[in-house]
Structure 1
Amino acid sequence: MFETETREGQDRVLGEMCDIIDKANYPGWISSTVHGGVDAPGTANFIQWRSLEDLQARYAGKKFQNKTVPLFDELATTVKLLKTEAVFAQRHPSLGGVTEISPDRDDYTVIFILDVAPENQKELVDTLAKPDEWLLSVPGYRSHAYFRGLDGSFIVNYAQWDSKETYDAFHTLPDDQRPESVRKGREHARTLATGRWANTFRVAHSRSAAQV
């Protein structure tokens, strides 16, 4: 995750990130999909790796430490390298059983990061990362997935909607208009989370090892 103060800064990060993605050929690297911020400047790079060991080898490499890290420290106001594993995914039946993240789609993507004390991470995951039949009936909903931070200090919600308008209508819906089970889950999650960060995105570029 990269935050910038301006759209110009966002474009610079996107340009550098796309260049890195187009040249990527790292052991264990599967794919990278870079997103441009909508509501606030910033970028998100959704990267898939074969294993944690492959990811750690990339982060420990001299080129990454001596060139990549200083470059993005210069371009972005904040940089968060979030190592996660997927723990839950749900999608609307119209997607045909597959969640696709691609610049060829028009998804309005929402990313939430919820901070949590390590001893409460499992409880927060169990509270939020479970099937939600009501959400399937909400206009504009496409998919969402939860990821557990490997260090135990956060979880990530990655969600796809068909437009800003439908997402905003859902996001601002009063709790008393949501099902009781959903309402209680949200209330309990608020008692567990110690911090919250969110932004909205559009996919800008993607490439996978299979396309090399």
Structure 2
Amino acid sequence: MPKIAADGQHLTVLNLFTTDTAEKQEKLLAAMREIVDAAAYEGWISSTVHAGQDKYGTANFIQWRSTEDLETRYAGEEFKHRTLPLFGEITTSIRLLQNEIAFTQQKPALDGVTEISPTRDDYTAIELFGVAEADQEELVDALGASQRYLLDVPGYRTHTVLRGLRARGVEGKFVVVYSQWDNKEAYDAHRAVPQSERVPDRQKVDSRVRSLQTWQDENTYRVVHTRATGE
């Protein structure tokens, strides 16, 4: 079961795909499962496939040993002439994001560990924020260490902040938030709290994030498949 940790040991790649029908989402998931199950790339550690919930699409949370290993994969004939063309036929957008994990937080009951697996029942949200290069570190802090108030939110489990390094399909700098919740109801209830009724710490953080972000996109997911090297 892959674990998320801000220990600097891995390059974390988050591949986000959008599409426009349920049938195309199923095709995406089938293609991703096939690739993950056959993965034997030098430096590849694990891949965890997510199915879109609020909007059609998929996410693949991938751990690599290094940027060099990933770029070797991208330079390969299979990726250039089979994988990318296949995804291009059934997606409306492709974002290949290279990141480092900057922050993790968990409910105390999880003993400081964030796990991702289809054997768990997490309702997962992935939020992508654009940011000016000069403001990236401040946004990382606003989305991470400044959000301890989440520990008191019903249904909250974990969240991870990823510092964007480079990407295909995204211009400029970015920050990603990967969060886990008990269920859709808990996540939606948290999001639906009127601004005027939010706790003061949340209001301050929300204002800070709005002042720093240049754009934002999001979707929710369920983990449907995972595999790690050696399995």
TM-score when normalising by structure 1: 0.95
Q: Which ranges of structure 1 fall in alignment gaps of 5 or more residues?
A: none
Matched, 1:31 2:12: no
Matched, 1:164 2:189: no
1:102 to 117, 142, 159: 117
Which residue does the alignment assign to 1:117? Answer: 132
Q: Which moved more, 1:178-187 or 1:194-203?
A: 178-187
Q: Which ranges of structure 2 fall in alignment gaps of 5 or more residues?
A: 1-15, 167-171
* Residues 45 and 229 in structure 2, CA contact (< 8 A), matched pair in contact too: yes
* Residues 149 and 201 in structure 2, CA contact (< 8 A), matched pair in contact too: no
Q: Which runs of 4+ in 1 moved over 6 A?
A: none
RMSD over aligned Cα atoms: 1.2
* Deviation for aligned residue 1:43: 0.2
* Residues 113 and 197 in structure 1, CA contact (< 8 A), matched pair in contact too: yes
1:174-194 deviations in whole A, cap 9, x for unaligned?
233333233112101111111
* Residues 124 and 192 in structure 1, CA contact (< 8 A), matched pair in contact too: yes
Which residue does the alignment assign to 1:42? Answer: 57
Question: What letter is aligned with 2:31?
Answer: E
Question: What letter is aligned with 2:195?
Answer: D
- 2:122 and 2:23 map into 1 onto residues whose CA distance is 23
Higher strand fraction (1 or 2): 2
Matched, 1:126 2:146: no
* Residues 105 and 160 in structure 2, CA contact (< 8 A), matched pair in contact too: yes
Question: What letter is aligned with 1:41?
Answer: Y
Which residue does the alignment assign to 2:218? Answer: 198
Aligned partner of residue 105 in structure 2, secondary structure? strand
* Residues 146 and 205 in structure 2, CA contact (< 8 A), matched pair in contact too: no
Aligned length: 211
* Residues 90 and 131 in structure 1, CA contact (< 8 A), matched pair in contact too: no
Q: Which moved more, 1:17-26 or 1:112-121?
A: 112-121
1:5-55 deviations in whole A, cap 9, x for unaligned?
001000000000000000000011000000000111100000000111111
Q: Percent identity, aligned pairs only? A: 51
Q: Which moved more, 1:66-75 or 1:127-136?
A: 127-136
Q: Which moved more, 1:23-32 or 1:123-132?
A: 123-132
Question: What letter is aligned with 2:214?
Answer: T
* Deviation for aligned residue 1:131: 5.3
- 2:110 and 2:212 map into 1 onto residues whose CA distance is 32
2:92 to 46, 70, 77: 77
